[in-house]
Structure 1
Amino acid sequence: MNTLAEDAAPFRAPIELIARALRRERVRAGLSMGEVARRAGVAKSTLSQLESGTGNPSLETLWALCVALEIPFSRLLAPGRPETRVIRAGQGPAVHSAESDYQAILLSASPPGARRDVYNIAAEPGPGRSSDPHMPGVLEHVVIGAGRALVGTAEEPVELGPGDYIAYPGDVPHVFRALEAGTRAVLVLEHV
């Protein structure tokens, strides 16, 4: 099952971070558990499990909850106080798609006052990652590091290779589909 990575030391099971963040953001928004679950299109029991730290969510479930709470995805995985951090290749708090062979590792969350998130993407050929629109004004920037991928808006994706860069609106349906094994990229979400 494609769910949160639990083998990427020293970032074992970021579910504790997610549980605290979901609870905090739901209370901050003044919403009941039932209302957040309804807005996200998930079962209330699923949200309850996630808030108690016992769930094992997919990337799609977490994105839906972030949209329902109107928060950037990175707020679920961001560490507390800023500090020097080195994240070695293949390590870090990772989430996996339930629909495709796609993994996102949060490299840097947007600090207070700044509005950007940076992810390291690992994807393999097969069904691509189709993303629903994010919050209004989100712009995505992608740089391909290895392999080839079809990236961009769902209506006009572009084939990219190593070193290629693309920017596109993230508040419309968009895709990332690996065309070669070992495709790697850096994704920056800009919240404007």
Structure 2
Amino acid sequence: MNLNYIISTNLKRLRTDRNLSLGQLSELSGVSKVMLSQIEKGESNPTINTIWKIAIGLNVPYTRLIDSPMDDAVVIRKSDCKKQSENKNSFVSYCYYTTDPNRSFELFKVELQPHCKHNSDGHNPKTQEYIFVIRGELTIQLTTEKYVLQEGDSIQFDCSLPHTYINNLDTVVEFTNIIYYY
């Protein structure tokens, strides 16, 4: 995709999302109204400095103006996910979404076999986990506390600390796991 088209599309979307006129954005960014109009129409090849000025005026990262726009919908099939497993498939994790410049989380679907557990030494500082139990019963061990979650239950915790997922039942437990980086 043509970079000028990407910039023009992103600029127009970001400006209108903020209900800014070209004149208002011109005042915020120090880029002339005429230049902003030409960029939005794809008639100008803005310099790096001009893009920086616009980004600062919009209060967004520079890359927000040059990244390709996302599709309206993205479908990810389980068969296309990155699958990881441990202990002879007793713990299986499917990664649906990874972090990227526009996404500060990862989304996994996890299957934990009956009477199995999985220990995690902890993740990066400033990370949180959000767990939602789809099927079964999941016990989460956090340092000195244990939390038992049933189907439909959820928990959020500081995952930079060691934690353990435990399945004490005779059936597979399935849960979604979102790891959020803040």
TM-score by length of structure 1 reads: 0.52
Q: Distance in 1 between matches of 2:142 and 2:89?
A: 18
Cα distance, 1:156 vs structure 2: 1.2
Match of 1:156 in 2: 145
In the alignment, residue 100 of structure 2 is paired with which amino acid?
P
User: Does residue 105 of structure 1 match 2:94?
Assistant: yes
Identity %: 14
In the alignment, residue 135 of structure 2 is paired with which amino acid?
A
| Structure 1 residue corresponding to 2:129, chosen from 102, 126, 140 | 140
CA contact (8 A) 1:122 1:185 kept: yes
Cα distance, 1:91 vs structure 2: 5.8
Cα distance, 1:177 vs structure 2: 1.0
Match of 1:117 in 2: 106
In the alignment, residue 180 of structure 2 is paired with which amino acid?
E
Cα distance, 1:152 vs structure 2: 4.5
Match of 2:18 in 1: none
User: Where in structure 1 do 4 or more consecutive aligned residues deviate above 6 Å?
Assistant: none
| Structure 1 residue corresponding to 2:156, chosen from 135, 154, 167 | 167
- Partner deviation per Cα, 1:72-108 (whole Å, 9 max, x = no partner): xxxxxxxxx96622324x7621100238711110011
TM-score by length of structure 2 reads: 0.55
Structure 2, unmatched stretches of 5+, are 1-68
Greater Rg, structure 1 or structure 2?
A: 2
Cα distance, 1:114 vs structure 2: 2.7
Q: 1:82 to 1:110 in 2, by over 3 A?
A: farther
Secondary structure, counterpart of 1:162 in structure 2: coil
Structure (1 or 2) with the greater strand fraction: 2
Q: How does 1:166-185 map to 2 (within 5 A)?
A: 166-180=155-169, 181-185=171-175
CA contact (8 A) 2:116 2:168 kept: no
Structure 1, unmatched stretches of 5+, are 1-80
CA contact (8 A) 1:106 1:120 kept: yes
CA contact (8 A) 1:136 1:171 kept: yes
RMSD: 2.2
